[in-house]
Amino acid sequence: MQSKKSSRICFPCAAVIVSFSVILIMSKEFNSPQLPASGLLTGLDETDRLALSTYGDFIPVHAGQLLIEEGHQQDALYFVISGTLHVHTDKDGKRTLITRIGPGESIGEINLFDPGTASASVTAQSFSQVWKATRRDFEAFVQAYPEVGEHILVALVGELSRRIRFLNGKLIAMEVSYQELWS
């Protein structure tokens, strides 16, 4: 009787192969990341997004890694390509989640106009890919591509306006709640 050869792979070997495959896929995708046409970049064609991408850096951020630290100098805009990040503050040993940021969203818009210290920390919750442009990078892009730069600046002002309206609503709700406590 002829014995059949087993085509099974031992579990540790399979895990290594699967891990290696995931690394290859992730590396392949990350070696040529692209800025998607979403969020601030909605309406930009591929050529404009490709040009913009050369004025910043693509950065991998691993789960648990701090991207921005509260209280530290900050002068960059970040655009999230993939993954999930948490914006939070840490006061008196207590962490307060401000918001979650995902693909197509941005962080650090204010720092393009008014560089200063970060008002919150940003930590990756899963492996994330972000694009980072400093104020100097962005100014150089706007000078080289004024029409596209204007489009992005209008989108930035729109995003900041939405956030201000949202925060105003929260403040009003807090004030109403506070007054109800004393009535």
| Domain ranges for the chain | 35-182
How far, in Å, are 68, 84, 151, 154 from residue 41 at the CA level? 22, 19, 8, 11
Question: What distance in Å separates the CA atoms of residue 29 and residue 101, rounded to the nearest whole number?
Answer: 21
Q: What is the pLDDT of residues 10-36, one digit of tens each?
A: 444 443 333 333 333 333 455 557 899
Supply φ then ψ for residue 85, to 5 degrees: -125, 150
Beta bridge partners of 77: 133
> How far out from the chain centre does Cα 143 lie?
24
Question: DSSP 3-state assignment of 32?
Answer: coil
H or E stretch including 173?
Answer: helix 146-182
pLDDT of residue 179: 66
**Which tops the pLDDT comparison, 72 or 164?**
72
Lowest mean pLDDT among 2-6, 53-57, 131-135: 2-6
DSSP label of 126: S
**Which tops the pLDDT comparison, 54 or 4?**
54
Question: What distance in Å separates the CA atoms of residue 7 and residue 9, rounded to the nearest whole number?
Answer: 7
Question: What distance in Å separates the CA atoms of residue 125 and residue 21, rounded to the nearest whole number?
Answer: 22
- Check if the beta carbon of residue 106 is closer than 8 Å to that of residue 79: yes
* Average pLDDT rounded to a whole number, residues 94-107: 93
Q: Which two tokens stand for residue 34?
A: 């692209």
- Check if the beta carbon of residue 138 is closer than 8 Å to that of residue 112: yes
Residue range 35-182 forms a domain whose CATH class is mainly beta
Return the half-sphere exposure (C-beta side, CA atoms, 13 A cut-off) of residue 129. Answer: 16
Question: What distance in Å separates the CA atoms of residue 103 and residue 30, rounded to the nearest whole number?
Answer: 15
pLDDT at residue 116 greater than cutoff 70:
yes
pLDDT of residue 51: 95
Pick from 153, 144, 104, 101: which is nearest to 122 by CA?
101
Average pLDDT, the chain: 82
Burial class (CB in 10 A: 0-12, 13-18, 19+), 107: buried
